[in-house]
Amino acid sequence: MTTIHALLQAATPSSEPHTLPFFAFTALKLIVVFTVYMVGVALLTLAERKISAWIQDRHGPNRVGFHGLMQPIADGVKNFVKEETYPAAANIPLFVLAPAMAFIPALVTWAVIPFAAPWDGRWGRIEMVLAPLPIGFLFILAISSLGVYGIVLAGWSSNNKYSLLGGLRSSAQMISYEIAMGMSTIPVLLLAGNVSMSKIVNQQAFETWNVLNLTIAFFIFLVAAFAETNRLPFDLPEAESELIAGYHSEYSAMKFSLFFIAEYANMVTASALMATLFFGGWDIPFTLWDNVAPHTFLKTLVTFLFFWSKILFFVFVFIWVRWTLPRFRYDQLMSLGWKIMLPVALGYIVVIAGGTLILESIGIHPSTWQFSVIFLAMNIVLLVALFGFIDRGRLISPAYSRLDKRNLDKLRRVRYERGMLEPVPSEGGAD
């Protein structure tokens, strides 16, 4: 028992592990978070179909229950009673393991996301986070990269060329966008001066939400989150027109369903991360009522609802974008990740770190209003520069591009110099 206490003390130095209430409330929080999360994910499959239908001027599922509300249950029952098939040449242990591997990391990430304001009850302060790790953000970075293993293992163990290609694409894509994603969050950590999720939320609650002064970081994080969750326009791992269903081609019944659930679970987790890192977590905007003592249960409840409404908004954005944009070509995906997002994210770190340093050297410290105003102004300038000037007039690795006159002349000059002079071709014929 003492070793357990010591471990808990090490994991959560802020809260004293009083034996019974601590375990009881941790179990309770686990149940609540898990239930809300899983029911949410189930309903999301319906939401996706409904929203896609509305966008396409259709009704969507409306047969099972009131306006199709029982559709997820019907789908679940169907998936449980369906026959499961195993490819003859599959690696069965890995084949069975892969769906769980895809699903669990999305769930585990929730351990460190604070989902409501703390509650000062009869049993002392109860943090509304499953594990208030002081290194919460690093934990998220570590766990979220594990999600790709499920997909890669599924692709490889199916012993199917399309599955394998899907798995390969997924791993390359995840590696490319993981970096940009990690880099885009460093400005947030720079401003918060901490890697604990609760501290990041608190900093935003008492100053400004990060989306207002770190919009570009948010934008990069958003795009990378789309790539990380394998959603359109980055759903190359399961590109139907090329790879049948990609990594889950060979899966059937509940195992297929688990991949499906994993996708939505990842979506909710990515939305929760965006809400926590850039939109103030459970913070209620324009008021400090929820951030100061006394921490009543009402505040916990209201902030919980606020947190979930933020998550649902981002989930809606995920679905909305999916039914708007077509898929990237694979080389465009790579080129966007490595040639645009990564340099922009790195440059942004330099700008934010440099800005903070300069402001501190002239005596304006973080968490003063001058600091916020200057960052806001800088953010607007950067946004206009990025979206106004840089966005227009560029192609992300076009299929081909005609050589313009200057490049054509340059090529001809090279040929002259090397003595490979040919008759000058007629207009437009040399490209």
Partner 1 sequence: MAIGVKVIDRPIQQTSYVRATLSGMGLTLKHLLRPMSEKVTVQYPEEKLGVSPRWRGTHRMLTTEDGKAKCVACGLCPTVCPANCIKLVPGEDENGNRYPLVFEIDEFRCIFCGYCQEVCPEEAIHVGRHYENSEYSREGFVYDLERLMAQTHPVCEMWDPADPKGE
402 binds partner 1 (CB under 8 A): yes
349 binds partner 1 (CB under 8 A): no
* One residue of 5, 13, 18, 58 binding partner 1 per CB under 8 A: 58
| Inter-residue contact 247 to 180 (CB < 8 Å) | no
Phi, psi of 91 (to 5 degrees): -85, 100
* 249: Cα separation from own chain's centroid: 24
**Minimum gap (Å) between residue 293 Cβ and partner 1:** 41
Mask for 273-312, x = binds partner 1 (CB under 8 A): ----------------------------------------
* Residue closer to partner 1, measured from CB, 292 or 325: 325
C-alpha–C-alpha distance, residues 150 and 136, integer Å = 23
Residue 121 in tokens: 């009850």
**Minimum gap (Å) between residue 237 Cβ and partner 1:** 21
Stated length of the chain: 431
**Minimum gap (Å) between residue 326 Cβ and partner 1:** 10
C-alpha–C-alpha distance, residues 199 and 20, integer Å = 27
* One residue of 81, 89, 122, 394 binding partner 1 per CB under 8 A: 394
**Minimum gap (Å) between residue 395 Cβ and partner 1:** 6
From residue 253, alpha-carbon distances to 26, 82, 101, 158 in Å are: 33, 5, 17, 15
59 binds partner 1 (CB under 8 A): yes
Number of residues that bind partner 1 (CB under 8 A): 25
124 SS3 class: strand
Residue 59 in tokens: 């009704």
**Minimum gap (Å) between residue 46 Cβ and partner 1:** 16
| Inter-residue contact 344 to 356 (CB < 8 Å) | no
* One residue of 93, 124, 354, 398 binding partner 1 per CB under 8 A: 398
Range in contact with partner 1 (rule: CB under 8 A) among 88-96, 136-144, 319-327, 351-359: 319-327
Residue 153 in tokens: 């293992």
**Minimum gap (Å) between residue 233 Cβ and partner 1:** 9
Range in contact with partner 1 (rule: CB under 8 A) among 19-27, 31-39, 83-91, 391-399: 391-399
Range in contact with partner 1 (rule: CB under 8 A) among 193-201, 224-232, 370-378, 385-393: 385-393
**Minimum gap (Å) between residue 271 Cβ and partner 1:** 17
Amino acid at 387: F
* Residue closer to partner 1, measured from CB, 392 or 418: 392
| Inter-residue contact 307 to 275 (CB < 8 Å) | yes
Ordered DSSP codes for 27-54: HHHHHHHHHHHHHHHHHHHHHHHHHHHH
| Inter-residue contact 170 to 247 (CB < 8 Å) | yes
* 119: Cα separation from own chain's centroid: 28
Q: Which residues bind partner 1 (CB under 8 A)?
A: 51, 53-59, 320-321, 323-325, 387, 391-396, 398, 400-402, 431
